[in-house]
Structure 1
């Protein structure tokens, strides 16, 4: 196993489907655990326990392609790899987007929708017959606020969707 950490620079209210932490939390860094293609632990939480720390968001993947980039008020993490069918859990598309924009919980959910649509669009652009893999995870975070919308109809959502779609296509090419 190889572990890579990314500092988000501040705490973000986060909604996540990653292995750790579950659901809603505050995070200030991302931990990426890179495993081999033949990784087969029926209890991946035992491996995550070794690397998690307070404020960490933990993604695990056998995909070797990943990025962590910053755009104005957006921090973007993506790891991406796929098999022929999308059913291979060792190949995963993980996405994390953290914005310095005041969203409430509805806004975070809207951002999840934006990322999911962007991922599906990228896979469609690549002529792949699926919308994701069995082990994909998404995390979104923001500073706390009252804004309800972060969908592709908003300036921020449109920008994020475009970046995510292009980066996924690049990572999978």
Structure 2
């Protein structure tokens, strides 16, 4: 079965850190490619699959069997979330993928701090919904920024609070819809 592939143009180039399937390392991207597979998808080479399905050296690539997703532009940047979970969070096909791209210049420490902010927001959303786990086994996060020197974007900063609020509420909305 061929997957559904959805692309989002970021409108500019961001430096990213990610746990997604592609790309690897610190790199610049200008688009998101989300690959929606069937829950029966099983491959020994998901990295090769995503590159075949979405051949682009300038895209962050997420894969999921979740059905609910959104891409939003905000006053601080853009974000993408696809969200679905199994009963226990152990179903690898049901995933929470998050891409956050801020229109602020961060250094590597700032990107790492942004990963923390986004991860805490995701865990908070799951707690809000009554789950006893903080994520699923196949979740991925990508964070990106413009080149710069800011090193702190935690949930105690004004921008970190906005990002955490948007991510947390959007995950709750997507998961509340269910994944049927």
**Under TM normalisation by the shorter chain, which class is it?**
over 0.9
Partner residue of 1:44? 46
User: Which stretch of structure 1 is more off in the superposition, 47-56 or 144-153?
Assistant: 47-56
**Kept in 1: contact 2:30–2:58 (CA 8 A):** yes
- Once the two structures are TM-superposed, the CA of residue 73 in structure 1 deviates from its matched residue by 2.8
User: Which stretch of structure 1 is more off in the superposition, 41-50 or 96-105?
Assistant: 41-50
- Once the two structures are TM-superposed, the CA of residue 52 in structure 1 deviates from its matched residue by 2.9
* CA-atom RMSD in angstroms: 0.7
Partner residue of 1:136? 139
- Is 1:27 aligned to 2:29, yes or no? yes
Tell me which stretches of 4 or more aligned residues in structure 1 moved more than 6 Å.
none
**Kept in 2: contact 1:17–1:23 (CA 8 A):** no
**Kept in 2: contact 1:20–1:59 (CA 8 A):** yes
Partner residue of 2:6? 4
- Once the two structures are TM-superposed, the CA of residue 49 in structure 1 deviates from its matched residue by 1.8
TM superposition score normalised by structure 2: 0.94
**Kept in 2: contact 1:80–1:94 (CA 8 A):** yes
TM superposition score normalised by structure 1: 0.98
For structure 2, the residue ranges without an aligned partner over 5 or more in a row are: none
Alignment of 1:103-122 (within 5 A): 103-122=106-125
Aligned residues: 173
**Kept in 1: contact 2:4–2:37 (CA 8 A):** yes
